[in-house]
Each structure stands twice: as structure tokens, then as C-alpha cells.
Amino acid sequence: MSILDVTGLTVRSASGTLVRDVSFSIAPGERLGLIGESGSGKSLTSLAVTGLLPTSLTVSGSVLLDGTRIVGARDAALRPLRGPVAQIVFQEPLTALDPLMRVGRQIAEPLRRHLGLRGAELRTAVAAALDEVSLPDPRIARAYPHELSGGQRQRVAIAIALAARPQLLIADEPTTALDVTVQDAVLALLERLVAERGMALLFISHDLAVVSRMVDRIVVLRDGLVVEEGPVTQVLHRPVEPYTRMLVDSARALDAFLDAEEAGA
């Protein structure tokens, strides 16, 4: 049984259709990449599968998250799934984190709500969660988000997402806002934690180099439509659709330009 099964997902706004008839599935422990240019519907799809789309949008089709129907479900029915079953790491942690709450309390919230931890046991679990994302300094738990670096904030966001030990982690452009060195460290952290916990991963990005590192299978979106799907080696090295070939060729051209710039520096 799939941990996530999406069939005919369609998202509409008052001005038109944003996501059209999208279908894919993720097995337990599988790593799937959702790629495409800005506006292709990647983030809308990730919000739809967790029931987090704004009420101004209408959703049709079928989404099963660990066997629970998401489309049309009340928020009260979905709330218990957000944490133990699926959790999201967003692109910009400074906006994802609560600016008025110390990060230790933000990590403690899912531990308290979903795992029922209290008192000393809760404090120990918060420290362990920070240590797991390579933030062992106890001062981090007492800090506010604006007092941390971008890389530290993203590690805190990952710690919060993983606190309730989800079966599926959705990472929506999780390193785009970071510089190259910090990006590599955060990706290595995600790789390690996903492997250690045996989680399924839905990794959303426009960066093909990052996607090829993180996933086993790829779904390509264009204007809200799935245009190609397959193993990462096939899609990135032997793309069938012209749009996918354009994405791959553009990524290769950019890599060649950056290599030349670095060599001439």
C-alpha cells in the first residue's frame, strides 16, 4: 500500500485551472521528486495532498494519505495526520517559524501534541531533536528565529517537521534560500535522516542537480500537468518529452557557465 496515492488531482481558482489531473503515488520509504519551473503547480500539489490549500481554491480528484481521504475532509479529521503521518519543510524558514516563540517551544509543540511528552521527558526530547539536526548548543532552544542564521533556522524547521516521526516528509524547495555551502550541509542532513528513519520523501525543486541527488523517481510538471515520469536516471539522462529535455539542457548549460566562471576566477 502507498503512503500517498494521488489520482486526478485538479486545483482551480476563480481565474482558471492551476493543477490538472495530476496522478502519482509514493510507497513507504520511497523518494520522489516533483520538478518544474516556477508556476508549474509543484507547491500547490504539496499543499493539496496535506489539505492545506486556501479555501479560495477548489480541489477535485482523489488523495489518499496513509489510506485517509484528504479531498473534502474536514480540518479536524486531517489535523492528526499532520505530524505522525506527513509533515512539510518549507522553502523559507523565517516565514515558516513563529517569530514570537522561542525555537525550543516550537519543537516541543508536536512532541507534546502527538507524542504526549511532558516535563523533563519533553525537555530531553527537544534537546535530542536539536542534536539530531546538528544543533547541540542548548542556547539554540532559547533563541528566537531572527537570532539564528538561515542554515540554523532551516535545521530547526527540519527538527520540528521530524519531531512526531512522520512516515512521509514533504520538502518544498528546502534549500533555495540558502547559500551553496549551507545548502549542501542541509541536503546531507536530510539525506541522512530520511535514510536512518526509513521515511518516504516528496522532494519539490526546480534544481535538477539537487533532485538527482535526493530522489529515486521523478514527476515533471508543466503548467499544472504531468508531462513525464520515471526513474531519475531515465528522466534526467534520457528524457522523452521536449519540455523535460529543455529543463535538462538548461541545467547543463548553467552548470557549464558556472564551471567556466569558477575556472576563470
pLDDT, tens digit (0-9, with 9 covering 90-100), for 216-231: 999 999 999 999 999 9
Range in 53-67, 103-117, 128-142, 178-192 with the lowest mean pLDDT: 178-192
Using 50, 70 and 90 to split pLDDT, how confident is the model at 107? very high
pTM for this prediction: 0.90
Q: Give the chain's end-to-end CA distance (angstroms, integer).
A: 52
Which sequence spans correspond to the domains of the chain?
A: 4-92+170-264
Using 50, 70 and 90 to split pLDDT, how confident is the model at 262? low
Q: Is 187 in contact with 214 (CB distance < 8 Å)? A: yes
In degrees rounded to 5, what are phi and psi of residue 71?
-65, 125
Range in 176-180, 200-204, 230-234 with the lowest mean pLDDT: 176-180
Average pLDDT, integer, range 94-116: 92
**What residue type is 224 in one-letter code?**
G
Question: pLDDT at position 131, please?
Answer: 93
Q: Across the chain, what does the average pLDDT equal?
A: 90
Using 50, 70 and 90 to split pLDDT, how confident is the model at 240? very high
How are beta strands 31-35 and 225-231 bridged, if at all? unpaired
| Rounded Cα distance, 238 and 15, in Å | 36
Q: Is the pLDDT at 253 greater than 70, yes or no? A: no
Question: pLDDT at position 35, please?
Answer: 93
Question: pLDDT at position 201, please?
Answer: 97
Q: Is the pLDDT at 87 greater than 60, yes or no? A: yes
In degrees rounded to 5, what are phi and psi of residue 152?
-65, -40
Question: pLDDT at position 257, please?
Answer: 38
Closest to 171 in 3D by CA, of 193, 138, 146, 140: 193
Query: In the structure grid, which three cell numbers stand for residue 136, read together?
Result: 547541540
Q: Give the rounded percent of residues in the chain with a pLDDT score beyond 70.
A: 95
Q: Is the pLDDT at 83 greater than 60, yes or no? A: yes
Question: pLDDT at position 181, please?
Answer: 82
Q: Give the rounded percent of residues in the chain with a pLDDT score beyond 90.
A: 70
Query: In the structure grid, which three cell numbers stand for residue 245, read together?
Result: 529535455
Q: Is domain 4-92+170-264 annotated with CATH 3.40.50.300?
A: yes
Question: pLDDT at position 204, please?
Answer: 94
Burial of 253 (0-12, 13-18, 19+ CB in 10 A): exposed
Average pLDDT, integer, range 30-40: 93
Q: Is the pLDDT at 158 greater than 60, yes or no? A: yes
Contacts of 19 (CB under 8 A, 6+ apart): 9, 10, 11, 41, 44, 45, 48, 224
| Rounded Cα distance, 219 and 202, in Å | 10
DSSP 3-state percent helix, strand, coil across the chain (nearest 5): 45, 25, 30
Question: pLDDT at position 258, please?
Answer: 42
